Amino acid sequence: MQVHFPRITIAGLRGGSGKTILSLALCWLFSRQGLKVKAFKKGPDYIDAKWLSLASGQHASNLDPFLFSVPRIQTLFTSFASTHDLAVVEGNRGLFDGMDTRGSCSTSELARILQSPVIMVLDCTKSTRTTAAIVQGCSRFEENLNLAGVILNQTAGARHRDITRRSIEKYTDVPVLGALPKLKDTPIPERHMGLISSQEYQGLDDIFRALGMVVAENIDVQRVLSIAGSAPACSQTQHIIPEVSSGPSREDVVIGIVRDRALWFYYQENLDALSRQGAKLVELSLLTPEEWPSIHGLYLGGGFPETSARELSANISARSKVKDLADQGLPVYAECGGFMYLAESLHYEGEDFNMAGVFNVQTRVYKKPQGHGYIRAGIIEPNPFYSTGDSIVGHEFHYSRCLSLSPEARFCMRMERGTGMAGYKDGLLYRNVLAGYAHVHAFSVEGWAANFVRAAGIFKDHVQKSTGPCPDIVCT
């Protein structure tokens, strides 16, 4: 079925060009006009996606040509066409920057897959007429790319804006949609992984209002909306991507999702996939003293455990609870920050903080990335979540490193691409716990959610029949 789904892709010449600020402002402004905006983030990015969710008032989704096949990108994207009025896709890095000289997995490749008009944010710092050559080059660099407009950023004054605008309009056919002034202060502070967590920053309404006012006063927002509406109709599939099941759906299992200031990196689609398999999801915290309900599985996402390390360490009851559940054979899946919590200790800014102690390993946070980029790994050890011999894809982005790994440490992943924990291995195993630096997306790792729910069901059945620890669960 052909559907009309207005859409734009916001791109730049490099990271830090102003894509996120513009995308947030447009999402907020369009939402204020009464439009239901679906935001997407190109690439495996949790933080920008979270801010886009807040600005649009709807969950943002990630789109990535490395993690997803073209049909899956199109299926996920068009699944929102009948329920939303507009899509805003924020690119990453430079428009043509990809994994190789062909630009594989670049923002421009994604824009072509989606047949989306591109609006480029152009940092004009200390340049005027040269920007026309840049725009002309970008507009002709790749076939079938619709560079529908540019927005000037970091402009120094009226004369600067006038010369730059007239130069682009004289030498190219790409319209200038507006010019943003230099901002004295960045509305959203940054940390080593980009924008800081929305949970660590207050005054969200004030932030979006300030950004919206700047953009509304300096950019032809209605023309941007018109460009979005010029996108061609797209084919909409009738169903979302199915999960490959490893057994019957379990509607009676409960999986705890830790979502607090320390751990909050989750793809919404991962949580949706667990729910589609029949699991009931309950949100938990490692920072508060509240008692947990009975759970049959535990998902520890990524985040910034180092910034809450003192509180995590002080919550002895939570640390003991997690260690005891792991010893009892609870299926636990932990990614990056979640893995750091399962270690013996976390070293940050000169201090050591006790963690849950499920694994006999320490982690230390450094000032530079210790692993960053896409990963591909083969499954080499039996575990509850993947079959031995499987190959999975995902990404890693961590500033911490493992210290004092025991020679007896068991890994279930051999890295074919990426850094991992040590010796190009990742995915530490203990009982029914799998913890590593790898982040996976349910749409690129079929069966992950079904296997997780199946393992939780096995644990629940065992608990009901026995008082002893659950045996090790193996995905077959």
DSSP secondary structure string for all residues of 350-407:
TEEEE---SSS-EEEE-SS-SEEEEEEEEE-S--SSS-TT-EEEEEEEESEEEES--T
For residue 11, give the 3-state DSSP assignment: strand
For residue 333, give the 3-state DSSP assignment: strand
b/e for 131-142, b at 16 or more Cβ within 10 A?
bbebbbebbeeb
b/e for 74-91, b at 16 or more Cβ within 10 A?
bbbbbbbbeebbbbbbbb
H/E run at residue 121: strand 118-123
CA 30/CA 470 separation, integer angstroms: 52
How many angstroms separate the Cα of 130 from the Cα of each of 123, 125, 126, 291? 12, 11, 10, 62
Is residue 475 annotated as a catalytic residue, yes or no? Answer: no
H/E run at residue 32: helix 19-32
Residue type, 334: A
For residue 328, give the 3-state DSSP assignment: coil
Asked if 413 and 428 count as a contact pair (C-beta separation under 8 A), the reply is no
Q: Which of 105, 124, 138, 336 is catalytic?
A: 336
Name the residue among 60, 71, 114, 78 with its Cα closest to residue 1: 78
DSSP secondary structure string for all residues of 211-242:
HHHHHHHHB-HHHHHHHHHTSPPEE--SSPPP
For residue 28, give the 3-state DSSP assignment: helix
CA 191/CA 197 separation, integer angstroms: 9
Chain centroid offset of residue 159 CA: 40
Catalytic residues: 336
